[in-house]
A and B are shown apart, each in its own frame.
Chain A
């Protein structure tokens, strides 16, 4: 019996010592588990992004390289998300644009959940008829936020580059590159051109079939090139009363940050391309 008393006492003491050690190590373990949870949220978010978001926001989230469900390349109609104006700063530029005062995480989650009215961004939350459950919205948000880890390391300029007032100060444009840019920058997602969309079936932005001529007549004293240039930089600058092809909503649904995603050459190429669209 004495043996049993000794074994029992030792076993009990050992159990308590181990429990005590486990308790001492617990803060570290909790921290690791928290990181693991976030890591797995991001992994799941990556899968969801791949399944649901790349068609409009591009594989890298830069609104580049969009592919439709049939595998065809298409214009990206979504905004870039892997993008400093969205992710950097306590209150990012894009939050300021929407006068959003909450946290960035909530801004992103809420945008995914309820969509953006008057744009192609649908409601994703199952609560509003979408396909994503609340936990999936969290995962997607964590994935998008994770781009900021790298992106916002340096002091990035979140304002647009300083654009010259006059389009003539841009480098010479190449219409063939501009034609690629029309696809790559996502213009084709909203604005039809005769080859792909004679009747502007997209119906989001005005048809561009005759833009070279139309732009020349809009504003007295402004050349077509200057009009296109200013419209890309600030889509709300000129909104016409009537649009025979396509809607003309105010405010414009067009993304407002082309000034931060295009460089001067790309802008010049786009303008050169649009000047070839003369309605013929």
Chain B
């Protein structure tokens, strides 16, 4: 071919530049020049030989993708784009994760202040953290739904059993990836959630040999510390992304190899025609799928940015303190089912018998369930079992939620509802200026101060849930009295343990410039013996003008 200078001499600068640009574009796209791209975007028929197929042979990224799909699988149903979305989120997590990695050191003490540095000092740091965390939770959800969809459409059946197995592995990796990231901020939330979750390791039988060593392995020491954090960090940023990436390619290779399974109703039972696509049913990757995927990329990006900016905020509690266990430690929602199971059986049974058995069942399922038909009508038992299993998981999740927690003493519960040791509360969310100085009753109406009045109403509601009347009529419910004698027990409709005729009030004092002290007092006097004080408790919290809880 002529050099650029020869072309200039031959057809002038303008024409030569156009020709050169065309050539460069053709090289980058491995075969499509500017006219071809324009034609593809306009929806024109391709020229012959079709340049849109060349990239699938010559280019690295396109050779991974099939050059055409069966039109039936390019609609929302049957794939719902879930596998694609999971892949998108994996890339998304990698990009946002690398940004966060730049500002993070996996070391107790430093890690936590690094997170604050990301929030206070790094441009878009808070957005990146929110997007990373939102993406992670979305990814868990999407991957789980992807698996559910695969089961429902019967796409795990022959010849796609192994695709299912790799998919199961990817689900497990996604869960561990998400959960290993949980520990990294090194705040109370992460520290204790992970401590509780891995406490099962200690119980691995026989505990003296396997349990202890497994515990050392996952915590890096008898308790979490520098060693454990570094281990989980490496797991999160190196080991798991790497093996997830590898298994993603295995998974996708199998998907392309066998083709996307058609909607169950399209084929005869036992047939698999995914790879025999008639010319009339072909939808080409370029331009149709490509445009579609670019659109979904833009939409998903938009949704995640908007979500992280306005609707989602990654929590950050106080720095991890191995000596102070906060009340009501909860697992993240996507693992709450395991906490629910722990309420049903001993952790050895749950973690070392039930969970492995369940996982094994999932892995081998496609090799055992070999019914030929993928049609819904032929798979009533399987689909019913799936629905039951989904219901079981949802109930387990609910049982693992704070709703089902082990109750502490009633005054502690009320204090925890209103000025919790960690996290959100209705009183802390009252704007600083609206927290008036003085002493306030539950349910008191403070004139001209709706936000504070609302918080005090919440105070009354919390008291009502855990109080009852013996002599007075201050509270909603009358006491149900349990055992007689020294261990008299009071309860009401809502709680097993309630305070009989309690007095409670909230005192707000000025502690310092821009700092108020909130003191919640509870006192309960034995209804049978006025000299016997059953409860005389105080919970103190502080609120600074700038601390910004109302914006969370």
- Which residues of A come within 8 Å of B, CB atoms? 1-2, 4-5, 7-9, 11-12, 14-15, 18-19, 22-23, 26, 29-30, 32-40, 42-44, 46-47, 50, 133-135, 143, 146-147, 149-150
Contact = CB atoms under 8 A, between A and B. Distances in A.
Interface stretch (B109-117, B156-164, B472-480, B523-531): B109-117
A29 B121 CA distance: 10
Given A5-B295, A8-B298, A15-B305, A33 B542 contact: no
What are the 7 closest A-B residue pairs judged by CB atoms, nearest first? A39-B544, A8-B295, A39-B547, A39-B546, A35-B546, A11-B298, A36-B548
Interface in B508-552: 511-515, 517, 540-548
Contact of A40 (B43, B295, B296, B547): B547
A47 B302 contact: no
15 contacts: A2-B43, A4-B291, A5-B41, A5-B291, A8-B297, A8-B299, A9-B298, A30-B120, A37-B119, A38-B544, A39-B514, A43-B515, A135-B112, A147-B513, A149-B514
B355 interface: no
Contacts of A42: 512, 514-515, 542, 544
B309 A11 contact: no
User: Chain A binding site: helix, strand, loop or mixed by DSSP?
Assistant: helix
Contact of A23 (B116, B124, B287): B124
Contact of B124 (A2, A11, A22, A133): A22
Interface residues of B, number: 46
B294 to A, nearest CB: 5
A43 B544 contact: yes
B126 A29 contact: yes
Given A147-B513, A150-B513, A8 B119 contact: no
B439 to A, nearest CB: 18
B547 A36 contact: yes
A23 to B, nearest CB: 6
Contacts of B543: 43
A211 to B, nearest CB: 38
A7 B295 contact: yes
Contacts of A32: 546, 548
Contacts of B302: 11-12, 14-15, 18
Contacts of B517: 46
Contacts of B545: 39
B79 interface: no
A150 B511 CA distance: 12
B37 interface: no
A30 B123 contact: yes
Contacts of B298: 7-9, 11-12, 15
Contacts of B121: 30, 34
Contact of B123 (A23, A50, A134, A135): A23
Given A42-B544, A46-B517, 16 more contacts: A4-B295, A5-B295, A7-B298, A11-B298, A18-B309, A22-B127, A22-B309, A23-B123, A29-B126, A32-B548, A33-B126, A35-B548, A36-B546, A44-B318, A47-B540, A149-B513
Nearest to B112: A135
Contact of A12 (B124, B288, B301, B546): B301
Interface in B294-318: 294-299, 301-302, 305-306, 309, 318
B514 A134 contact: no
Contacts of B515: 42-43, 46, 146
